[in-house]
Amino acid sequence: MTAKKKYLVVEGPIGVGKTSLAKMIANEFQARSIFEKVEDNPFLVKFYEDPETYAFQNQIFFLLSRYQQQRELSQQDLFNQNTVADYLFAKDKIFATLTLSSEELSLYQQLYELLDPRVPKPDLVVYLQARPEILYKRIKKRDKSYEKSVTLEYLKDVAQAYNRFFFHYDETPLLVVNTSEIDFVSSSKDLADLIKEINNMGSGTQHYIPLGSR
């Protein structure tokens, strides 16, 4: 990564492949990698089974876990070492808005606004998109036990919420990538083309539609 892109974040809805891509980008740039500790959340399975009962506990656990990880990151030598993460702290609001009641969301917002100014902001966010049907197929293929009850309808809501969030996102440079018809894991060319886009990325928001997705 260039000096202007020391801290890069890969984001996108469940099943889009952000962790796999973050690992490959980190390897490409010989960067440190930071991964979200999803499986450490004791409320996640219960949330997928009974969202109304466990949404608030699930969301607060994720918020505090992400905050702790980001604070540890900021206390390390962030600016002298390339770093790639598979989540954006601000994305926590996407799921909160989607799953919490109005009263819960109000309390959540107060806590979020206390924490957000204390976490480091990335130099570039790579936002991966895919059609909900593709997300559903990828989730079923990876066969994680806590995702067995994830429905296509839920993924449609999540994908739509992500699109709304990033449509208005302007905190950092943003590269939007359509991944519905490409595979960074099995295609070295797809990965090489994306790395080129990352290296050439300037300010503002840019859209990258790989040839396979057109």
Catalytic positions, written as ranges: 86
The CA distance from 204 to 161, in Å, is 21
**73: phi > 0 → left, psi -120 to 50 → alpha, else beta; which?**
alpha
| 56 φ, ψ (degrees, to nearest 5) | -70, -45
Contact call for residues 69 and 118 (beta carbons, < 8 A) = no
Task: Report CA dihedral (13, 14, 15, 16) to the nearest 10 degrees.
Answer: 20
